[in-house]
Amino acid sequence: MDERGGESLHFYLLFGVIMAMVLAAVFAVQLRRQAEVAVDWQAQNLANSLARTAFSAVKIAQQTFDLPASIVGSLYELSVDVERSSFVVRIIDGIRAGSAYFSAVNLPLFLEDSNFRPGSKIYFQRLGDRVIVSASPIETRWEKVTYPTNSVAPEFYGWAKVNVREAVVAVAAYFFAQEFLQASPTGKVLDVVSLDRADNFIIAHVGYRDSGTYAASFRAVAVENGENVGMVSRIWMITKLENFKNEAISPTPCPSIENAASSNWLFSPSQLLRYLRSRTWRDEENNLIEIPQAVRYYPAAAYTNVSIYPTWIFEFEANGKEFKFCHSMMLWFYGDNDPGFVFQSNPLIWPVT
C-alpha cells in the first residue's frame, strides 16, 4: 500500500470514529429527550388523574387511587395545594429532578392526611360541597347535625305545633332578618317579637328583644297546593316576604325563635343544605342523585293525614328530573308523641351514606 492509500485509510478510520461519536451523541440526546418526554407525560397524567378522581368523588361517596411506585424510574413526591384546589407532582431525582406538574379541580379540597407515599393508595370522600383527600382511609361520615344544648324543648317547639302557619312565617322572617338587617349596636338580640294579621295575611314583627320597638315588619305571601310529596298531601308555602309599613293592628307575642335556633332545635335552610349535600343519595332507579348548588327553598306548612308540620321545601333539578324535598324545620323532642316526619321527597330518593 502506497503512502497516499495509507493516508486515505487513516482518514476513513478517523471519519468513521467521529461519525460514530456524533451518532452516539445524537442517539444519547434523543434517548434523553424521549426519557424526559416520558417523565413529563406520566407525571402530568398522574396529576390529571388525581384531579379527575377527586371530581368524581362528588357523585360517588368514596374513591381510591393507586399511586405508582415511581415515574419512569424517577422518585417523586405528591402534595395537595388546598388554596388552589390542585394536585402537585414533583420529581425529586433523575433527568427531570426539580420539575413540578400541576392539575386543578373545580371544587374545594380538604386535606386530612398529607403523608402520601409512592406505591400506596390515596383516598377521596365527598363532604358537602368539598372533597376530602387523605393518604389514609377516611371514616365514612357526613355533615353532622348539631344537637340541642338543652334537653328540654324551647317554648317555640310546642307553640309551633299548634300555630303552624304562624310559626312558618315567623321562622321565614327571622332568617330573612338575620341575613339582611344590621346587628344591634348595643348587642341586643334580633328576634321575631310578635305576629299580626291584616287582610288574611300573617305579619311578622321583627325587633330587638326588650327594645320596645320594631326593626321591620314582613307580610308573608303564600300559595297552597295539593301536590303529593311522599306522605305530604298538601303544602302551604311562602313564596316571598313583603315589607309591611302599616302600624301594628293587634300583635300577639311570639315565642323566641332566636332561642330555638341558638339552642339547635331549629334548622336554618343553609344548615340543612350542607347536611343534605354531605350525604349520597339514590333514586328509585338506583341512580346517584347529586344535590346541586342551584336549589330553591321555601318555608312551608306540610299537611299529612295525621297533622300539619313546619317544613323546609327544597326544589332542584338532577339527572333531568325535578325533585321536591320536604324536611322538618325542627328536631324531634323525645317527649313528643307526634313528631311528624324527618323528610319526604317526590320522586323518591333516599340516603345511602
- Residues ≥6 apart with Cβ < 8 Å to 275: 142, 143, 144, 145
The verdict on residue 6 lying in a domain is no
Q: What is the mean pLDDT of residues 205-224?
A: 85
pLDDT band at 183 (very low <50, low <70, confident <90, very high): low
pLDDT in tens, 37-54: 888 999 999 999 999 999
| Domain final residue, candidates 67, 99, 134 | 134
Q: Considering the domain boundaries, does residue 149 fall inside one?
A: no
Residue 347 sits in the same domain as residue 216: yes
pLDDT of residue 57: 80
Same domain, 182 and 256: yes
Q: Is the pLDDT of residue 321 over 80?
A: yes
147 or 183: which carries more pLDDT confidence? 183
CA 242, 243, 244 angle in degrees (round to 5)? 110
Per-residue confidence (pLDDT) for residue 156, from 0 to 100 = 94
Report strand pairing: 109-113 vs 288-289: unpaired
Indicate if 251 and 200 belong to the same structural domain. Answer: yes
* Four-CA torsion 164, 169, 171, 175, nearest 10 degrees: 170
Q: Which domain holds residue 169?
A: 155-351
129 plus 161 within the same structural domain: no
Check pLDDT > 90 for residue 19: no
CA gap 333, 289 in Å, rounded: 30
Asked whether the predicted pLDDT for residue 9 surpasses 70, the reply is no
Q: pTM score, two decimals?
A: 0.61
The whole-number pLDDT of residue 186 equals 67
Burial of 129 (0-12, 13-18, 19+ CB in 10 A): middle
Q: Starting from the edge strand earliest in sequence, which strands make up the sheet with 62-66, in order?
A: 62-66, 121-127, 130-134, 109-113
In a domain, 4, yes or no: no
Written as nine digits, the cell of 268 is 336554618
The pLDDT score that the predictor gives to residue 309 is 92
Q: How many alpha carbons lie under 13 Å from residue 341 in its C-beta half-sphere? A: 21
Residue 141 has pLDDT above 80, yes or no: no
Residues 127 and 207 in one domain: no
Instruction: State whether 182 and 322 are in the same domain.
Output: yes
Cell 460514530 belongs to residue: 20
Q: Name the amino acid, one letter, at 193.
A: V
Question: How large is the average pLDDT for residues 217-221?
Answer: 91
Q: Which of 67-81, 296-310, 324-338 has the lowest mean pLDDT?
A: 324-338
Q: pLDDT band for position 29 (50/70/90)?
A: low
pLDDT at res. 338: 72
Please tell me the predicted confidence (pLDDT) of residue 63.
84
Indicate whether 122 and 163 sit together in one domain.
no
Q: Are 130 and 160 part of one and the same domain?
A: no
CA-wise closest residue to 50 among 37, 38, 67, 62: 67
Residue pLDDT, tens place only, 80-125: 998 899 999 999 998 889 999 999 998 888 888 999 999 999 999 8
| pLDDT given at position 277 | 84
Q: Hey, is 204 helix, strand or coil?
A: strand
Inform me whether the pLDDT recorded for 255 exceeds 80: yes
Q: At what angle do helices 164-180 and 155-162 cross, to 10 degrees?
A: 130
Cβ neighbors of 249 (< 8 A, separation 6 or more) are 196, 197, 198, 203
Q: Which residues pair with 123 in a beta bridge?
A: 64, 134
The answer to the question of residue 122 being in a domain is yes
Alpha helices in the chain (DSSP H): 3-56, 155-162, 164-180, 257-262, 269-278
Between the alpha carbon of residue 271 and those of residues 91, 214, 268, the distances in Å are 43, 27, 5
Residue 296 lies in a domain: yes
Work out the average pLDDT over 223-235: 90
DSSP H or E stretch at residue 191: strand 190-198
Assess if residue 295 is contained within a domain: yes
| Same domain membership, residue 27 and residue 168 | no
Residue 209 has pLDDT above 80, yes or no: no
Asked if the structure places residue 179 within a domain, the reply is yes
* pLDDT, the chain, mean: 84
Residue 71 DSSP one-character state: B
pLDDT of residue 185: 61
Q: How many domains does the chain have?
A: 2
* 80 & 198 share domain: no
The reported pLDDT for the residue numbered 140 is: 58
In the chain, % of residues over pLDDT 90: 44
Where does a domain end: 134, 166, 190? 134
Average the pLDDT over each of 105-119, 141-155, 277-291, 333-347 and give the range with the smallest value.
Answer: 141-155
Q: 315 and 271, same structural domain?
A: yes
Domain stops at, among 83, 100, 134: 134
- My answer on whether 118 and 169 are in the same domain is no
